[in-house]
Structure formats: C-alpha cells, structure tokens
A and B are shown apart, each in its own frame.
Chain A
C-alpha cells in the first residue's frame, strides 16, 4: 500500500533531471529483454532440433554428405537412359492432366462452397445475421482439417481414383476461401446494396448485382492463388493415396533403381507445371487486382 501511494523508492525511478541517462537506461533495459528473448528462442530451436534429431532414423551431420547421393544416382541413371525421357514425359502426361484437373475441380467446388460460407458469415450481408457465428466456425473447422484425413477416409468408402482427392481438397479449400472471401466482402461498399434495396430487389439480387461485381476481382485472385496451392496438394495426395501424377511417382519410387528415368520425367513435369501455373496465375492476379 505504501508503495502504491508513494511510488517505488527513488533509486528505481527514472531520474528525470537527467533525461539522456534515463533514455539510455531504458534502451539498455529494452535491449537486455530483447537479448534474453533471443537467447530463449535460439535455445528453443536448438533443443527442438536435438529432439527431432534423436527421434530421426539418421542424424543430420551423418546424412548431410549423402544429400547429393540420391539425386546424383537418379540423374546419372536418367542420363544413361536419356533417350527414353521424351517418351516417358508423353507417357505420364495424362496423369499430369488428371492432377491438374483434380486441383481445378476442387478449386471450383471449394470456391463455390466458400462463396456461400463467406456470404453467410459476413456481417451486413448475411441472409440470416444470427447464423454468422455458425458459418464462421464451420469455415474454421473445414480449414483446420488437413486434406489427407478426408482423402484417406473417402478412399476407404469410394475406392481409389480422383474423386476422393477432389472432395478432400475442395473441403479444405471451401474453408480457406470462405475466410478470405468474407474478409474482402466485409470491405465492400454497401451503397449499391442500398440502392438495390430501394428498388425492391431481393436478397439474392442485391448480392448478385451489388456485391459480386465489387468483390469478383479479389475473389478470383484468391481462387487462382488457391489453384496454385491445390496443384501441389493434389500431387501430394496422389503420392499418399489416390490418382494423378503423385501416384505414378510413388510407383516409380517404389520400384527403385531401374525406373529412375521415370522419376526424373515425373519430377520435370511436376516442376514445369508448378512454375508455369505460378507464373500465369501471378500475371493474371496482378491484372485482376491492379488492373494492368
């Protein structure tokens, strides 16, 4: 109580008669805290790395010199059989198309569902404002479930093939896009909606004519970004479970030596596709958002 009334003893107080010293004192203390935080952070990373290394089959240092061994083995074998490469690229091209199709279908489906979730969870726009928290939580949960969980369960029910992958990626995409869509719809201008309301437009007309034209460029750009991510996800899902180029890659990898030319062909296809789609969608997004 005495401390509160009279403040800390004079020695602990910044000495205001000498502002420079007080400033330096304060800065030193701030730096000290920053330094302690940094030490803690480094210690956390170092100990985490130690734990991860202990639970790993091979150590970091013992594996480091082998890091080039596998790629060089693969590349040297592929180089010996380089004559096969064009034929292999053509052979695996349909799987690549399937992977891209999975990503596109999942983005379309997820985008559509995400748009509904977004409209349901945006204040001022929702048809049933009382339900906005429900829509938000739904999107959160859909976003939190990794694709692989749904894909593996669906493979058990639907069998292999692209459909489980599409549904799994679409589910996650709907949650992720629902959040982004709703953020950009929140910033939309409500004046067109007011104008439409005054003419007696229904809710769907207000949204379709008043909100969608405003948010369309943003939404499309988010959907394109998601498409890039989904191509990667679709390749990974193929590797873990169902169709597409990921599955081809897994088969070729399981075979081991002798099929490394296939591995290289698939790596090359995947790499080129990802880079190409990244470039195209980056260009398209720039045009959509900045208008040039």
Chain B
C-alpha cells in the first residue's frame, strides 16, 4: 500500500506521456500517408500515365542536337539544276559559289559531298547516289513522275520510300530526294557564324590570321580593322549580338528601376504604417491594407493592367515590378521601423531636433542595414522576374527567348540566351552580395 501511493501520484503524468507518444506516432504515420495520397491524386489529375504517350522524344533529340551542333543544307533544285549551300537553311547564311566548304566539290553538273566516315553523296544529271559504308550504294533516278530506287535488299527502316520522296537518315547526316529537289544535311559541332557571317571579309579566318589583320593594311579605309571586326560581330545578322546585349541591359534596367523605385516610394509610406510613428490607428490600418492589396494583386495582373496603359516595353515592366515590390517593401520596412531602439530617437530629440531630423539621424541609421539587404536581395530576384515579365510586356531578353522558342528551330539561340540569362542572374547575385558586404559588412 505504501509503495502504490507514489505510483498512483504519477499515474496521470504517465497516462499523459503515453497519449502524447501515441499521438506523435500517429502523426509520424499520418503525414507520409497523406503525402502519398496527395501524390496519387496528382498522378491522376495531372495524367502522368498519359505523359509518355504525349512526350515527343524526337523533339528532345532535335533540341539537344541543335544546342551543340549546326547543320549545313546542300540543296539542288531538280528542275533548274540550281545548287545552294546554306547554314540551317537560312537565306542570309548562303555560301557564295567560291566559298563552298572543303567537304564538297562541284564540277559542271556533278556535286560530290563527303559526310565523313566513308559516307559519300553524288548529285549528277541522272539523279543522286549515296554510298553508305557497310550497306552499299543507294541509287535514285527520276523516272517520269516516279522515283526509281536501286539499293541492296531488304530496304532497312532508316530509308523511307514513297513514290514521290525518298529519305535516308544515317548517323553521318540526312539525305532526301523528291521530284522537286534533292537535299543533304551535314551536321557539325559548334555554333556556326557566331562571330562573322559569310559575307564578312573576316569569315573563315583563324585567330592567328585575325591577330595579324589587326596591324595589316585597312580593309575599309574609313576605319581600323579592329573597329571593323567589332562592328561585324556587333551587327552579326545571324546572332544579333548588339540586340541581345541591349535586351540584357533592358532586363537589368527593369529590375533596377523597379526595385529602387519601389524602395524610394515604400520608405516614406512605411513610416505611416508603423505603430510607433503613426499613432492614428485608421491611417496605419489603411496603409497596411494598401500594401497587402498591392502585394496580393500579383505582378502578373499589374503587368497586364499597366501594359494596356503604357504599351509594351521595358518601362511597363519596370512599373509592374515597382508596384508589386512597393507592397513588399512597405510591409518589411514598417516591421523594421517598429523594431527600432527608441533610445537613439530620444537622444536626438533631446537636442531639439524636429521630426524630419529625428527620422534622418535617429531612425534611418538603425534600419539602413535591413533596408539595404532587402533591396539588394530583391534586386537580384527581380532580375529573374524581369525575364518573365519581359516575355509578357515585350521587352528584354525574355522576349527574345520566347520568340526563339516559339519558332521551334533556332534552338542554338535558345541555348545561347539561356546561358546569358544564367550568367546575368549570377552576375547580379555576385554584385549584390559584394555590395551588401561592402555596405553593411555581412
């Protein structure tokens, strides 16, 4: 009996601990179960099982191949016999007859193309032949309205034959013959014409030759060779380096104007929303709700509304960022203001300072670190938002990127823009980090 009394005294605690453990265990079990249930629901609602059917893996292959390589089209018009050699089939990248790449030769009607690894293609007056190593010769001759194919039987599945068109796809390249034209695509690694286009006098020169040209006689008497080269690169007709540089600048400009403008507007308004500076409850309440409203109406909606008033362009994007971030900054700044140390303000007041002087010398120095680090952080994150907003309002690198993606063929440009965007954001990240360390030492 004497032993049981202390035990009974602990019984309620014991039961409580037991039940707490039980509920802990139950939550530990329930959370994963709920997550799995949610994921199962998503699996059905997002139709993941149908995804494999919808996915276009051939598109993925084209995209990846285009990211790192380019193709040269060698096309003969079968009606006129006209031969054209272009890069990516673009008319502004057409080789002049004396510029043909060294892997092809022409003499009279006969064109020889060497795709490498023994793959040889010949266009001549009778038709065209393709010698595939390890398979044999594919010989195509037009015969009236039809195409006659002579090739080792059975025809493998990488040769696609219809009455009017025969196409061959090998690891070395692609070849297609139709009644109107015969076409060969040769794939080569790299981004072609990145610095100089075909019509430029500097095309095809090695770095050594280019360096030698710097001191050589002027090609264009009006300017030095270096200035000429720089202008050829800047005005490159395929890659538009000048326009791309402007677009990057526009994106950074949108982020900069938006963030700084928002900070300048939010700072005075934050005083009106802080309880220790604005004793009138209704004013405080009104400004807080204003910040919440501006923040809650998303950047997307502001962008749409502003684009209607100001038209497309970088200023519209900057204003959209400005509006959204005024709400965010107003909220964080007013919270920082409410947390300041009153003693410093008190000290300034004791010298007979007015309200503006108290704010300038008693308050601002205290909140400056919070303020600066917030502004710099948002400057970096807004560079990313400006890319997206640019795609909607039609300004900056975001617009170039969406346009390049929508055409669905210039994937090497998409890769180029993606790399530039990542470099731009990382540069802004580094710059804002450096500034933060310089200004507030952390």
Q: Which residues of A contact B (CB under 8 A)?
A: 41, 45, 48-49, 51-53, 55-60, 63-64, 66-67, 69-71, 98, 101, 104-105, 108, 140-141, 144-149, 152-153, 156-159, 161-163, 166, 232, 235-236, 239-240, 246, 249, 253, 267, 270-271, 274-275, 278
Bound-state Cα–Cα, A278 to B328, Å: 12
Query: Is there an interface contact between A140 and B42, defined as CB atoms closer than 8 Å?
Result: no
Query: Which single residue of chain B is at the shortest CB-CB distance from A237?
Result: B388
Query: Is there an interface contact between A235 and B310, defined as CB atoms closer than 8 Å?
Result: no
B243-258 near A? 1/0 per residue, CB < 8 Å: 0000000100110110
Known: A152-B402, A236-B299. A98 touches B45 (CB 8 A): yes
Of B46, B54, B301, B310, which contacts A166 at CB under 8 A? B46
Q: How far is the CB of A180 from chain B (nearest CB, A)?
A: 12
Q: Is B140 located at the chain interface by the 8 A CB criterion?
A: no
Query: Is there an interface contact between A66 and B309, defined as CB atoms closer than 8 Å?
Result: yes
- Chain B residues within 8 Å of A140, by CB: 426, 429
Bound-state Cα–Cα, A152 to B35, Å: 28
Q: How far is the CB of A86 from chain B (nearest CB, A)?
A: 21
Q: How far is the CB of A229 from chain B (nearest CB, A)?
A: 9
Q: Is B47 located at the chain interface by the 8 A CB criterion?
A: yes
Of B54, B298, B316, B429, which contacts A270 at CB under 8 A? B298
Query: Which single residue of chain B is at the shortest CB-CB distance from A144?
Result: B425
Known: A69-B309, A101-B46, A144-B429. A60 touches B55 (CB 8 A): no
Query: Which single residue of chain A is at the shortest CB-CB distance from B260?
Result: A45
Query: Is there an interface contact between A146 and B387, defined as CB atoms closer than 8 Å?
Result: yes
Bound-state Cα–Cα, A63 to B60, Å: 43
Known: A45-B257, A55-B250, A55-B395. A148 touches B46 (CB 8 A): no
Of B45, B59, B315, which contacts A60 at CB under 8 A? B315
Bound-state Cα–Cα, A152 to B398, Å: 11
Query: Which single residue of chain A is at the shortest CB-CB distance from B429?
Result: A144
Among A104, A144, A163, A232, find the residue whose CB has the most chain B CB atoms closer than 10 A.
A144
Query: Is there an interface contact between B253 and A52, defined as CB atoms closer than 8 Å?
Result: yes
Among B55, B253, B301, B306, find the residue whose CB has the most chain A CB atoms closer than 10 A.
B301
Q: Is B431 located at the chain interface by the 8 A CB criterion?
A: no
Query: Is there an interface contact between B46 and A246, defined as CB atoms closer than 8 Å?
Result: no
Q: Is B372 located at the chain interface by the 8 A CB criterion?
A: no
Query: Which single residue of chain B is at the shortest CB-CB distance from A240?
Result: B391
- Chain A residues within 8 Å of B45, by CB: 98, 101
Bound-state Cα–Cα, A149 to B417, Å: 9
- Chain B residues within 8 Å of A141, by CB: 422, 426
Query: Is there an interface contact between A144 and B426, defined as CB atoms closer than 8 Å?
Result: yes
Query: Is there an interface contact between B63 and A157, defined as CB atoms closer than 8 Å?
Result: yes
Query: Is there an interface contact between B296 and A278, defined as CB atoms closer than 8 Å?
Result: yes
Bound-state Cα–Cα, A5 to B385, Å: 54
